A = this chain, B = another copy of it.
Amino acid sequence: MLAPDLRQVPTLRPYLVARSQFADGSDTPRDHLERCLAALDIWEPRVDAFVHLNIDGARAAADAATARWADGRPLSPIDGMPLGIKDIIETIDMPTENGSPLYAGWRSDRDAASVVALREAGAVILGKTVTTEFAAREPRGTRNPWDVERTPGGSSSGSAAAVAAGMVSAALGTQVIGSTIRPASYCGCIGFKPTVGALNRGGSHDNMSQSCTGLLAANLEDAWQVAYEIAIRAGGDPGYPGLFGPAEAPAASKPRRLAFLETAAWSGAEEGAKQRMTDAVARLKGAGIAVITRHDSASVAAAETALVEAGAVSMSINDWEGRWPLNTYRDRDAEKLSKLARGRLAKAEAMSLDEYRRLLKERDKIRAAYAALPGECDACVTLSASGPAPVGLTFTGDASFAVPFSLLGVPAISLPLFWLDGLPLGLQVTGFAHGDAATFATAAAIVGLLDGAVDARPV
C-alpha cells in the first residue's frame, strides 16, 4: 500500500454542516462516525494519535444519537459528534495515562467535568489522544499526518493529528504555553484556547494558573459549539464566570481595526512564514481593515515591549507550579520521569516562594500592558508558529508565538490559512479576556476574507 497523502483524501465534513441531513436520515451520526472510523483505519497506523479507543462504546453512542435526531429530539447541536479527549483528561470508560509510565493503565473511574458535560450533550467519545508527558515537552510518538516524519506539535499532539486526519470532528486539548495553538498550526486545523478559566478543568491533570482546556476542530463552528456545550453544563473553573457567548457560533463580524503583533518570536520566524503573514496583513488592509502595529500606536508598542518577557516569565511560573506533582512522582519512581521532567523539577526546587510572587507581579504588569489595547483595536493577529512543523519527533516545536497569549489568559484562535512547502501554518487571532465570542466573530471574518486568497491548500 502506498503511503496515504492527506492532500488526496476528502476532509471530514464539519459536524454542524452534516447535521442538516440528520433529521431526514440522509446522513446520520452513525454514518458520520463510520467515516471517522474509515479515516482511523487509514491514518491511525501512520500517526498514532490515540492511546486508547472505545469503538464499541462510540458506535453505541452514535446509534443513540442517530435515534434522537430521527425523533427530532437531539440533546444538543453536537449530539453524536465524535470527539477525542486529550489523555490528561479523565474518562470513566478508558484509562488516563498522562503520557507517563507512572500512569500506565491508570483508571480514575470517573469523567472529567468537561467530559460529563459532553456526554450530556450527546457527544461520542471515541478515544483518548496522545499527550506529551504530563502535557509538557517530552513527546510520545504521534506523527504529523501531513508528513509523518514531522512532529504534530505538542502537547495536544494526538488531538490535533486526529482532527486533521478526520478521525474525529473535534478534540479536547489543553494549553499552558502553546499546547493547543501550536499543534493546530502544524496539523492544519482550528485551535481554540479560550480565556483562562472559561472551561471547567475538573478532572484534567493540568493544575497550572495559565492552563486551560482548549479545542481542536475542523472548523470554527464546531469548535465554538463544543466549547459552548461544555460551558453551559460545567461552567468554568471554580470561581470563574465561564465562557461567555451565544448558543451558536458567532457570525463573522469584520473588524474595524486589528493590531498586528510581531511578538518577540518574529525575528526567529521562517522567511516564508513572515511573508505569508505580511501578505495576509496587506490583504486585510486591502479589504478595508485598519491594521496597526508598534509603529502606529504607543499602546501596541508598549504591549510588544511587555510581551518580550512572556516566554521566560511563563516558563518560570510553570516551573514553580509544576513542583507538585513532579516531586511526589520523583519520590515514587524517579526512573519513570523523563530527563526533561527531572530538569524542570530541579529548577522548581531551586526557586523560592518570593521568586514566584515576583513572577506573578511581572505577569500582572504584562497583562496590564495588553489590557490597554481594546481601545486601539478589536483583536490582534500574528502567526501561530514560526513555520510549519519541523522534521523529527523528538521536539514538539517552537511555541514562542503562542506563549504570549497563554500568559495573558486571553482567547486565541489558530486559523489554518497558510501553506508553506505543502505544509499548513496558522494565522493566530487573539482577543481580550472574556471576549471569546468577539474573537470568534473576528476570526470568522478573517477566514472569509483570506481563505483561498493567501495561498491555496495544496490539494
Contacts and interface: CB of A to CB of B under 8 A. Distances in A.
Interface of A: 92, 109-113, 115-116, 200, 202-203, 207-209, 231-232, 234-235, 238-239, 241-242, 320-321, 323-325, 327-329, 331-332, 352-353, 356-357, 360
Contacts of A331: 92, 111, 116
A3 B445 CA distance: 78
B328 A92 contact: yes
Contacts of A320: 235
Given A235-B353, A353-B232, A353-B235, A328 B116 contact: yes
Given A242-B357, A324-B116, A353-B235, A332 B92 contact: yes
Which of A109, A113, A238, A325: most chain B CB closer than 10 A?
A238
A208 B238 CA distance: 6
Contacts of A353: 231-232, 235, 242
B356 A325 contact: no
B92 A357 contact: no
B207 A323 contact: no
A238 B205 CA distance: 13
B110 A323 contact: no
Nearest to A91: B328
Contact of A116 (B109, B235, B327): B327
A121 to B, nearest CB: 13
A451 B360 CA distance: 41
23 contacts: A110-B328, A110-B329, A110-B332, A111-B328, A112-B324, A113-B323, A115-B328, A116-B328, A116-B331, A202-B324, A203-B324, A203-B325, A208-B238, A209-B238, A232-B352, A234-B324, A235-B320, A235-B353, A235-B356, A241-B357, A241-B360, A242-B356, A242-B357
A113 B348 CA distance: 13
Nearest to A241: B357
Contacts of A232: 352-353
A317 to B, nearest CB: 9
A313 to B, nearest CB: 13
Nearest to A102: B109
A360 B327 CA distance: 34
Interface centre among A113, A353, A356 (most CB of B within 10 A): A353
